[in-house]
Amino acid sequence: MEHVLMPIAIIGSFGTSVYFFTKVITDYILKKKMIDKGFVNEESQSIFRAHTAENKFSSLKWGLIAFFGGISLIAMDYLDVRPDSTLPYGLFAVSLSLGFLIYYFLVKRDIK
């Protein structure tokens, strides 16, 4: 099973990375060309502002997810569990969910 899933995971993560990198670069080039051509009016500026306001908390979200995922991995290192136990998966899922919940409540509080 490992011989099948490992290449799929590697190719999938590489493809996802290439997609997001390409999306960021093309969005930047499009915005730059629109500004250079003079197509930026009030409506266009409001679209740009709305997009950047939406991504205002993106780094906070991924920071919290990485932090709580790391904490769960550290906790799993100290736990003595059977190899066939599902406890590590549950602990990892719960800690990532906790990171998402903290992110949600922080953003909800800041929006109000």
The tens-digit pLDDT sequence of the chain (112 residues) is: 778 888 899 999 999 999 999 999 998 888 788 777 777 776 666 666 655 555 678 888 889 999 999 999 999 888 888 878 888 899 999 999 999 999 999 888 887 7
- CA-closest candidate to residue 97, choices 70, 76, 74, 68: 68
The answer on 61 and 29 residing in a single domain is: no
Do residues 105 and 75 both lie within one domain?
yes
* Claim to verify: residue 30 and residue 61 sit in the same structural domain: no
Rg (CA), the chain: 20
Number of domains observed in the structure of the chain: 2
Tell me, what's the pLDDT at 51?
57
The residue among 69, 63, 57 whose CA lies nearest residue 106 is: 57
User: Residues 35, 64: one domain?
Assistant: no
Identify whether residues 61 and 13 lie together within a single domain. Answer: no
Task: Verify that 4 and 32 share a domain, yes or no.
Answer: yes
Burial of 41 (0-12, 13-18, 19+ CB in 10 A): exposed
Residue 4 confidence (pLDDT): 84
Does residue 111 sit in the same domain as residue 66?
yes
pLDDT score at 74 = 92
51 belongs to a structural domain: no
Look up the domain containing 63 and give its range: 56-112
